[in-house]
A and B are shown apart, each in its own frame.
Chain A
Amino acid sequence: MTSALAEGYTATMNRHATLSLKVNGDEREVAFAPHKTLLEVLREDLALTGTKHGCELGECGACAVLVDGRPVLSCLMLALECEGADVRTIEGMQEGAQLHPLQAAFADLGAAQCGYCTPAMLLTAKALLDDKPSATRDEIRASLSGVLCRCTGYLQIFDAVERAARILAARDREDHV
């Protein structure tokens, strides 16, 4: 792949690039118009429409996904830049048929109203708790500051992240017993 990239891709709509990446744990090979961002490839070429868009300019955060475990804006990342990346979208957040504790807490505490920013909020919160399992409310607030929500006023989202953190911590303790 190195040489192909080094020689240059011509990003026209009619010619397709292909790349290999990991999406929600699965190795995927995807062909796409090379000018597309990761957002467009996820939604249009991989049919993963759980990733939303509200501006496509990096101004709302609705398109956040995890790339190599870190929350990034898929609307600003050219898909070509994702060769070999490990991408996680909302479709890959559940633990089998079970909701991830964050998803369950969001569902139970009113943290999802219209649900449109919810995938971005959930993935961002997951990255936070993966990194800081006992994040404080200020840390939760700061880490979610890149995703706008117009329905909830955020407070029930903070509550849900805190509840999920407690559940994950309890589960962690059980695992170590």
Chain B
Amino acid sequence: MSDNPDKKVDEFNLVGKARRRVDARAKVTGQARFADDLVLPRMLHCKLLRSRLPHAKIKSVTTDKARAAAGVRLILTGYDTPVPYGILPVSHDEHPLCTDKVRFVGDPIAAVIADSEEEATAALDLIHVDLEPLTTISDAEEALRIPEPRIHDYGDEGNLHKKVAFDFGDVDEALRNSERVFEDVFFYEGNTHLAIEQHATLAAIDDAAGPDGRLTVWSSTQTPHYLHRALAKALELDPARVRVVAIANGGGFGGKSDPFNHEIVVAKAALMLGRPVKICLTREEVFYCHRGRHPVLMKLRTGVSLDGKIKGMELQTLLDGGAYGSYGVASTFYTGALQTVTYKVPRYRFQGCRAFTNKPPCGPKRGHGTPQPRFGLEVQLDKIATALKLDPADLRLQQLVEPRSLTANYMSVETIGLGECIRRVVDGSGFRARRSGGKLPTPGDIAPVRGLGLACSSYLSGAGLPIYWNDLPQSGVQLQLDRSGRVTAFCGATEIGQGSDDVLALCVAEILGIEIADIKVLTGDTDLTPVDLGSYSSRVTLMMGNAAIEAATRARDLVAKAVSDKMGVPVEKLRFAERRVTFIDDPARVMSWQDAVILAEAKHGTLGTTGSYKPPRSAAKYKGGGVGPTPTYSYSAAVVEVEVDPVTGWYDVIKVWIGHDIGRALNPPLTEGQVIGSVYMGLGEALMEESTFRRLPPKLSGALVHKFPSMLEYKSPSTMEMPPVEVFLVEDPDSRGPFGAKEVGQGPLLPMMPAIANAIFDAVGVRVDEVPITAEKIARALDAATKGRPARVGPTKFPAVAWPEALKIAPPWEGGDGTASNDRPKKERMARPGEVPIGDAPIIRPEVRR
């Protein structure tokens, strides 16, 4: 698919050269228009009344007073929007406005649409909601203990949403035959995306679009296609009459990839009133949208030989999912899927369980489900290295997964530049020589101690399967060639700051041999652009890039045919570069790009081409094997240096060295920006970010509230906390990526948390088996050590879970074929092979109330 991935950078026209991104000017001049910047004539404003109880039945909603209030045009309640929706077909468990129950503090109950935001806000207080409180489930362990009342009427049992279990070979035997077995329990606290832009949506009826008008929704979304589907479903509209525009997006990180209740509510209001309706969430409400990192409790048992080689691994995860499904089923699988793609794991057992709790729903945040188990794995490897007196880098280097191989769980690894990443960061940081060795401080020591930690990771270059089952392309690009020589590229892909518009322009310009300035990109508009599934799972560069290359290659072929006819030279002898078409054997015979386009239009008629991309089929044919496969994995390795105060446990991050296996850097400053941005977000998670909740004394109050839904108290690092970062881009072009490129937007986040934990150990000899890794926890572990207890902070127990019977899948090297020996016959299943398995959840269409 890819165009000559093995080319050297200087053989490309544009690829690999530092260049101002296509949308930069709009962003530095304030001209980029974000959703809340839009104003339409006669526009109304919407505010949502949210639940103040964490779990309750709605007995009644009285809106008369609010309806009569100044400026109020419309009040909506669950009665008006009864059709459920959700991002995954297996969990359509959300309503735009709650119908029968509220499930967390912040769940929307009613909407006020008024002339001004002030009037809408004032009217919220005039709505009376009669709620009957229900038992509150505040975390995953409570959900295990308390099956009733159920937060939802579907799910695997009680308040457990999803349970999965897999055995890839006989893991018990592998652990029995291991010289050493290491067992650890880890906890990773939830955290959130905290994009600086608050979610905003404007909906309007476009009267010019036909006799009945057409609903247009401009939204700060990462997934306009999925929002398009959700709007059509929830509002029972013909999708052909709905247009979604993914407008400039002020940061996503996964937080804008679900269809949201507020998006559907303003669309409904616009349809009912025939006037534009806008909503912009407050920062607090953004914390209630959430879909952030799941809190995960993990138990990891790994059997190794005395030289540190992994013989078998067993992982159990317990996810606190919050109040709704969101991407949660996929998140659950992701906590297990990528444990095998870095180091050889001959046999692997994974058991995962996601619980419903009365908190804002968790979902996908940068790294989706994989940073938590990656933290456990990389910290445990560090402990193994210490126990077996091995160098942590050598321990890893000796057992890297081979390129072009299958893992125990049938993930297909293509190129793997992890070894090179490790070597670069180890050499760059002086890791081997400069480590302190993990000694506890001597009592009375006050001088700060330095330490270095290493960790690695891997991530997808796009999920192998779409979110809903279909046999269609995952990305489509359409090109239109104008007589001026300008080429417009249309694609449903969504620019969220990562630079996807720039990748689109680059891929087209590179193939056609023209300049970036010759390309106009038009993206993320369901009326105008072919479907791309959206900006999630690091899929856009690879999938859209390949589609763009295909479309551009077809356009080049059309132009080449016309030029070849005119010049009387073979098509293969034409070179497209520097806005010219040149006869390779006689460079004097040359034609400008514009003339060539005119010639081609005369020959073929109006010029337009399309390209599309669908990932290769996965080898994982067992049920649940649809989560984890990707066209190719990216790899990262990081060394972090910290300095720790032995008195208070306070630490500073001195420097980060990060190597990332990018395949090919398409526009290096943007590539590095994604690496540094990922490092930043990982540092935030490691140092300070956490979504925590406050339950008041149950004797006095039933409250369960987000402890600090604000930018001030949800701590995210400022400029003052950001250390220097040395980036090593490892370029080993992958034939599956556009010009050899792989993902970069998420992978480099993953090694940060374990690298810091390992660095802390190296400095002061204590283990913090929890994220975030705070000074308070380090101080506690130091105290424990001085009292003769283990120098460790972290969970000690993993609760009992009634795991389902494991699917038994023999690894490739034990004669397996990617199917499970005990899977139900294919006919019985609702899911097709390789798909996210559809649970048995009934779609809820609850009784509606006024």
Contact = CB atoms under 8 A, between A and B. Distances in A.
Contacts of A52: 34, 196-197, 250
B27 interface: yes
B21 A107 contact: yes
A155 B711 contact: no
A145 B251 contact: no
Query: What secondary structure prevails in chain B residues at the interface with A?
Result: loop
Interface string A93-121: 11000010001101111101111111100
A74 interface: no
Interface in B17-53: 18, 20-21, 23-34, 36-37, 39
Interface string A138-161: 000110111111111111101000
Closest 9 CB pairs of A and B: A50-B30, A114-B497, A115-B27, A153-B680, A116-B250, A90-B30, A107-B24, A59-B711, A49-B37
Contact of B30 (A55, A89, A142, A146): A89
Interface stretch (B694-702, B716-724, B760-768, B773-781): B716-724
A117 B676 CA distance: 17
26 contacts: A13-B118, A43-B37, A49-B34, A50-B30, A52-B34, A53-B36, A54-B197, A55-B283, A57-B711, A59-B283, A59-B710, A59-B711, A90-B29, A99-B29, A103-B28, A104-B28, A110-B21, A110-B672, A113-B498, A115-B23, A117-B196, A144-B719, A150-B193, A150-B194, A151-B251, A153-B676
A113 B681 CA distance: 14
Interface residues of B, number: 59
A122 B195 CA distance: 19
A93 B21 CA distance: 20
A107 B722 contact: no
Contacts of B27: 107, 112, 114-115, 118
A79 interface: no
Contacts of A94: 29
Bin the interface of chain A by size: 35 or more
A68 interface: no
A115 B250 contact: yes
A56 B282 contact: yes
Contacts of A104: 28
B680 A152 contact: yes
Nearest to A112: B27
Contacts of B710: 55, 57, 59
B29 A113 contact: no
A91 B26 CA distance: 11
A87 interface: no
A112 B28 contact: yes
Given A90-B30, A116-B196, A155-B724, A148 B496 contact: no
A107 B20 contact: yes
A145 B30 contact: no
Contact of B718 (A47, A50, A53, A148): A148
A19 interface: no
B24 A112 contact: yes
A149 B712 contact: no
Given A107-B20, A148-B196, A115 B26 contact: yes
Q: Name which of B31, B197, B282 has the most chain A CB atoms within 10 A of its CB.
A: B197
A103 B251 CA distance: 20
Contacts of A115: 23, 26-28, 32, 248, 250, 497
A103 B29 contact: yes
Contacts of B496: 114
Contacts of A48: 30
A156 B198 contact: no
B249 interface: yes
A21 interface: no
Contacts of A152: 673, 676-677, 680
Contact of A113 (B18, B36, B198, B499): B499
Nearest to A60: B711
B116 A13 contact: yes
Contacts of B193: 150
